């Protein structure tokens, strides 16, 4: 039987305060890490991230996350560290073009994670991430 991994979904919003009102206050999603440009929510055990974007209907918006230009419109999956390492190796061997090269983000902090971004054949951005300790997915 396969273990269900939590999904990760990032999406644009025009107001973080209104996003908090809806996701945290209306739906009861616990708030995780945040900055002036984004906020994490625990959406029934899955990680969703509201990113503040002016003109969010436009394609190609990015926000700075720990020094990387992260595409705001993306989706992904949280893998085990072993699965992430295997996939990273496979994608490098097949010479996939990375939007964000595989690396460790938030090193030494509660949200330390391995991450990498690629695009699919239609231009959709995907993030693959892993935590050394997956129980820290929503740690502040």
- The CATH classification number of 7-136 equals 3.10.180.10
Q: How far apart are CA 68 and CA 122, in angstroms?
A: 22
pTM to 2 decimal places: 0.67
- 116-140: pLDDT as tens digits: 998 876 667 889 999 988 888 888 8
The pLDDT score that the predictor gives to residue 59 is: 56
Q: Which residues of the chain have pLDDT under 50?
A: 58
The pLDDT score that the predictor gives to residue 74 is: 84
Nearest of 112, 119, 131 to residue 5 by alpha carbon: 131
The pLDDT score that the predictor gives to residue 1 is: 55
The pLDDT score that the predictor gives to residue 38 is: 95
H-state helical runs in the chain: 16-19, 81-93
In the chain, where the domains are located: 7-136
């Amino acid at each position: 039987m396969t273990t269900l991994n939590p999904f990760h979904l990032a999406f644009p919003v025009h107001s973080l305060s209104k996003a908090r009102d809806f996701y945290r206050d209306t739906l009861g999603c616990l708030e995780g890490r945040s900055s002036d440009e984004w906020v994490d929510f625990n959406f029934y055990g899955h990680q969703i991230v509201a990113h503040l974007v002016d003109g969010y209907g436009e394609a190609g918006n990015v926000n700075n996350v720990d020094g990387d230009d992260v595409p705001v419109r993306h989706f992904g999956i949280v893998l085990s560290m072993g699965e992430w390492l295997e996939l990273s190796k496979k994608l490098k061997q097949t010479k996939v073009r990375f939007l964000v090269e595989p690396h460790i983000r938030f090193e030494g902090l509660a949200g330390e994670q391995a991450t990498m971004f690629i695009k699919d054949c239609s231009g959709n951005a995907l993030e693959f991430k892993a935590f050394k300790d997956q129980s820290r997915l929503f740690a502040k």
